[in-house]
Structures are given as structure tokens and as C-alpha cells.
Chain A
Amino acid sequence: MAAFLELRGVTKKFGDFTALNDVSLEIRRGEIFSLLGPSGCGKTTLLRVCAGFEQPDAGRVILDGHDITDLPPNRRRLNTIFQSYALFPHLTVRENIAFGLRVARRPAAEIKREVGQTLALMQLEEHADKRPALLSGGQKQRVAVARALINKPEILLLDEPLAALDLKLRQRMLVELDNIHDEVGITFIFVTHDQGEAMSISDRIAVMHEGRVEQIGTAAEIYEAPRTSFVAAFIGDTNFFDGQVLGPDTNPDYCQLAIEGFTDIISFNDKRLPTGQLAHLSIRPEKFRISRNPPPPDPFLNRISGTVEEIIYQGTHTNFWVRAGEYRVAVRQPHSRFKLDQEIITWKDAVWLSWHADDGCMLEQYRADDESLLSLPDPDDAHPAPGGTTGTTPPAASGRQRGIAT
């Protein structure tokens, strides 16, 4: 599909700080495209460049084949939902929504009609003559959306639109936004730092880090096949293993990996890393099977043995930390029929961990710093974040220890 909005080599500096570093991406007509990343990664700056609030130092912004880089925001057919909503406090809801049409000098009768329709669509009729100060967070959000949509923009830019809402409301508004998208069918660019929001609403996600786009893909792509250690660590949780490619397997899609302390490791090698290349393997905690008995033989099943160091019961699942060689491996086992099919595993048990060769992901780029992103709960604190978050910590011997930035 052809690009609807295209960024070509966009760079933006604020003093010495590079907010955007040669960013290029293409957004398709009608999709919900998310910019996801930690604060300071440049996602909001990117959105502001699209809206025209920031002028890039280099690069072009192209909308539907036209270069809009030099157009001021008021001449771009894009509208923004601001994080703070930025409703005009001195105008009523009705006047806020009518603002864009008034500025465009549309006939009064048309404005009246359109505003009426939009108020009805957004279920804001009973609040039409209130000032924004009297509205709840969710209502403000709806006014902001209404005020932008009434102008029939080509693209709606949403800057952390849910950040100011509480958790329950956030989920409801997310569904509401999705419904609105289905109804109006325009392109949404959605900025968020919340991977849950991004994954549930987006057609595609761009994961950003330090002013660069690390990976663009569907939610499943970025979760299952992260290209960099940053993406692997930022989206969900994972374990990193350092290894080296020993050579291709009999099936060329797979390769043999040497990881210190383990034997016979085989991994899916979609990136076709050559023999001898240093490789970093990312394995998500839930990809492991944990058992006291050795798993049945299978050429594609990797197995390592270790000792249980920590167990945290989490309701829907249990987190284990297993010492295997020099790694401390995070493992997540879901509960289905807890009493019946779960072997009772307890502290200090010798266990087997196994995972399918397809479930490991070889990373193209690896930076040791990214390990600090893993939301490793200290098992001794035993207060992990909801949803269970885990990770590995190679031991001190390897020079990387939790808590010490490397």
C-alpha cells in the first residue's frame, strides 16, 4: 500500500539534544499507527513535526504526495488531540467544537448543523453549554476528539490522549477511540508510552528509542520477533543469552548456537546470521516449560537444567527464577488446572527448562544497557508489578549484575 504520510530523514535537535535522528517512516491511509517508546524517545516531537508545531532541522514531511514541511500548523489538514486536551477554557463545549469551522469562516447554518451532529455523535449534547472546567476527564477527552474531528482532518494525531485518565476510564476510552476510528475511517497516529494501549489499538507500531525508530511492525511482530534488544526488553519481558553461531542446522532456517554452560542449542535463524557471528538470543519467560522430569526428546526442543531459586505465585501464573549455569532465568508458567497437572515445584528443586527452537529470537542489535529496561522485580522484595514481569540476570562473574549499570 502506498504511503499516505511519509517522513523522510527527519532530524530535530534542541540545542545539544537530538530529539529525532534521521527518522524515516511511512504511514498508510486509514490505519492506526502508534509511536511507542519511553519518555524522551522523540515520539511526541515526531508527532509535533507532523502537526507543524516543530520545524525539522532536516528531512521532509510528505502528506499524500505533497511536501508539507514548510506549512504552518493552521494550514495543515491534520488535527491534534493534546495530552492536556488544550480545551479553550473561556469557550463553552459548543464553541470549542465550532472553533475550527468558525476560523474557516464556514456559513453559520452549516456550523450549527455540523456542531449539532458532532455533539450527538460524541454524546455531549447535555454538556454543550458548559465550560470545560466543569467536565470530567472522559468528557473533556470527547470534546477534544469532537473539536478535532469536526474539521474532517486527513489524519488525527493523538498525543498520549489517555495519560490523564484513570485506569478504568482509559480502557473504555481506548475502545471508544477504536470505534470512532472505525466510524470515520481516517488515519490515526497515536503516541503512547504504554505498550498495552499501543498493542491493543494499533494496526502497526513504531517502537522509538533515543530519537530513532527501532522497529516497525504489528503488535505480534514486535513482540514475537524483536529486532533489537531494546524492543525485546521494552515490550514485555525477556531473557537474554550471549552466544555464538556454530553453524547451520540440517534445516538452513535453523542454526546451532554455542551458549556457555548449555549444550545442543538450536535456534530459528530467520536473519541468517553467518557461522562464527556473536549472537544474542532473547527468550520470553512464558516460552519456557519447567518440569522436574527431563522433557521428551525432540530435535527442536532445547533443554537446560538448573535449580529453582525463587518462586512468586501470581494468580494467573507463577514466576520462577531458575539458576542455570551462569544465568538466572525468568520463567513464567500459566496455571490451567493448577492442582492436577502442575507438578509441585519448590525452592531448591533441580528442574529442566525447555523451549522450542522457534521461540527464541536472535537479535540483530544488542546493547547491554537495555537490560536495565527489564522490569526485574527483586524476588526478595516479592512485590512484582501486576501482570508478572521477569528477566534474567547473568551473574556477577560475567561482569553484569543487576543494579549496576553497565
Chain B
Amino acid sequence: MRRSRFPLIVCILGMLFFYLPILVLIVNSFNASRFSTVWGGFSLKWYALLFQQDDVWHALRNTMLIAVSATTVSMVLGTLAAFALHRFHSRLQDAHYTLVYTPLVMPDILMGIGLLLFFAALRIPLGLGTIFIAHVTFCVSYVAMVVLARLQDFDFSIVEAAQDLGAGPWTILWRILLPLLAPGILAGGLLAFSLSVDDFVITFFVSGPGSTTLPIKIYSMIKYGKPPLINALSTLILCVTFLLIWVSQRLREKRA
């Protein structure tokens, strides 16, 4: 039987749809002309200009600060949550599961406005601290879900074997559980990190003066700034992203 070509065509068109805009953007970042449709020759001047934008670098610093701290905290909280959800089946865990699951499907803007109102009601000044809290809140759920998925594939007779061979709870934690679950926890952390670096909506609601993060900076550049500068910045970010994806992919292949 000959298969229909329709799915193949949809797939090819879909891929073009996904990647053409990004490609155009990258090409334009090397365009000397400030108009995106006129090729003014190859140039790196937008990159040079970008490196002079102190506020961009300041925003990057904020973003990294928050991403690293929020990822760390959410890895701890999320891993504990996954253990609890996996190990126990009680009414508490039903509620716990709902608490962990709901942020995953809730639109960002609701979480943003909720946290904003929460901080406003408690008169907590907005700034890096509030952004950190917000980021941990949504990252915990992702880490918990990734680790929980790994736990479900985990053969718990290994833990019993360790107990059987005389290991106490701490030995089991350090010698067995953490080494074996490290890939899952790291995968969850990587996801949390990328979400934190990329988050705009929630951050926008809970950021205050002086706590501009990179996405907020990009947003204001999109709204009010020079397109070529954003092209250059975007290209740099895309390169870093692709590099990270490539590295993590290589690591996974190596392990397998």
C-alpha cells in the first residue's frame, strides 16, 4: 500500500513554519542596513553596539542571579515533593498533587497577577526577592514532575537491597538514591533553569524598579527599541540555547 504524502507535506511545511522566522532573524542580525528587508552587507556593528548597552548586561546579571538561586531551591523542594508523591498515598498527597499540578496548567498571567496582589496586600516591596519567590513557585512543579516520572521507572528493590546489605538511611540517600536520581534531578533543574531564564509574564508582574531581567529588557526593546539590536541579542541567546541543547544531548547519548 502506498502511504499518503499528506502527512509528509504537513511535516515539511510545519518545520519551515517553525524555523524560517528564526532564520530570518539570525540573518538580519548581520545585516548592516537597519531595515530588515534591505541587505546592506555583512556587518557585526549591531553586536558591537549591543556590547555597549550596559543595561542589557545588568539585566542579564539579574536573570542569572535569579535563575541560579530559584533553580537550586526548586530542585530541593521539587525533589522532596516527588519523593512524597511517589512514596505515600494519602489524602495529604492527593492535595499535594493538586498543588503541584495546578501551576503547570495555570496561565502565567493568573499566577503573575495573583502574586502581585499577594505582595501588594502584604505590602512587600517588589524586586529581585519577589521575582525569586515567583520563579521558585512555578519551577517546583516542573522539577517535581520530572523527578516523579523518573521515580516511577526506578526499581525500588535496589533500595531494599542496600538496606539488606546493612545500609542505613543516610548511606542509602548518598550512595544509592542521589547518584541514581541525579540525572532526573538535573534534568528537572535544567528545565527549571530554562523556564526561569525565559519567563517574562510572571516576572513582569512582580518586578520592581531596578530588578529588570533579560526578558523584560527584551520586551521593552521590542516595544520601543531598535530592531537590529534585538536581532543581535536574539542571535546570541539562540546560539547559547542551541549550544546548551547540543551539550545536554551529547551527555545523554554518552550515558545511554
Q: Does A90 lie within 8 Å of B180, measured CB to CB?
A: yes
Q: Does B162 sit at the interface, judged by CB under 8 A?
A: yes
Per-residue CB contact flags for chain A residues 134-164 toward chain B (1 = under 8 Å, else 0) read 0000000000000110010000000000000
CA distance A104 to B167 in the complex (A): 8
A103: Cβ under 8 A from any B Cβ? yes
In the assembled complex, the Cα of A230 lies from the Cα of B158 at a distance in Å of 35
Q: List 5 A-B contacts (CB under 8 A).
A: A84-B155, A88-B180, A99-B167, A99-B175, A148-B164
The answer, yes or no, to whether A86 is at the interface (CB within 8 Å) is yes
Nearest CB of A to B158, in Å? 5
A116 interfacial contact with B, CB 8 Å: no
Given contacts A51-B160, A74-B167, 12 further A-B contacts (CB under 8 A): A74-B163, A74-B165, A79-B164, A84-B155, A84-B157, A87-B161, A88-B180, A90-B180, A99-B165, A99-B175, A100-B166, A104-B166
- Distance of A53 Cα from B157 Cα, bound (Å): 10
Using CB atoms, name the residue of chain A closest to B180.
Answer: A90
Q: Which residues of A contact B167 (CB under 8 A)?
A: 74, 99, 103
A-B complex: 6 closest residue pairs judged by Cβ atoms: A100-B165, A86-B161, A86-B157, A73-B163, A103-B166, A82-B157
Asked if B179 is an interface residue, CB under 8 A from chain A, the answer is: yes
User: Contact residues of B with A, CB < 8 Å?
Assistant: 155, 157-158, 160-168, 171, 175-176, 179-180
Bound together, the chains give a CA A104 to CA B166 distance in angstroms of: 7
Is A252 at the interface (CB under 8 A from chain B)?
A: no
Residues of A close to B175: CB separation below 8 A: 99
Picked from A53, A83, A88, the residue with its CB within 8 Å of the CB of B158 is A88
Quick check: is A305 within 8 A (CB to CB) of the other chain? no
Q: How far is the CA of A215 from the CA of B161 in the complex (A)?
A: 30
CB distance from B165 to the nearest CB of A (A): 4
What's the nearest-Cβ distance from chain A to residue B201, in Å? Answer: 40
Question: Inside 8 A of B162's CB, which chain A residues have their CB?
Answer: 88, 99, 103
A88-B158, A88-B176 known; A72-B165 Cβ under 8 A: no
A88 to B159 alpha-carbon distance, docked (Å): 9
Taken together as a complex, chains A and B put the C-alpha atoms of A151 and B168 apart, in Å, by: 16
Using A74-B167, A74-B168 as known contacts, say yes or no to A53 and B161 having CB atoms under 8 A apart.
Answer: no
Q: Contact between B160 and A73 (Cβ–Cβ < 8 Å)?
A: yes
Q: Which residues of A contact B165 (CB under 8 A)?
A: 74, 79, 99-100, 103, 147-148, 151
Query: 1/0 per position for A92-116, CB-CB distance to B under 8 A?
Result: 0000000110011000000000000
In the bound complex, residues from chain B placing their C-beta under 8 Å from that of A148 are 164-165
Q: Are A86 and B160 in contact (CB under 8 A)?
A: yes
Quote the shortest CB–CB distance from A88 to chain B (angstroms): 6
Closest CB of chain B to A133's CB: distance in Å?
Answer: 10
CA distance A89 to B168 in the complex (A): 19
In the assembled complex, the CB of A49 is this many whole angstroms from the nearest CB of chain B, namely: 13
A103 to B168, CA, bound (A): 8
Q: Smallest Cβ distance from B153 to chain A, in angstroms? A: 12
Interface presence of A80 (CB below 8 A):
yes
Asked if B166 contacts A151 (CB within 8 A), the reply is yes
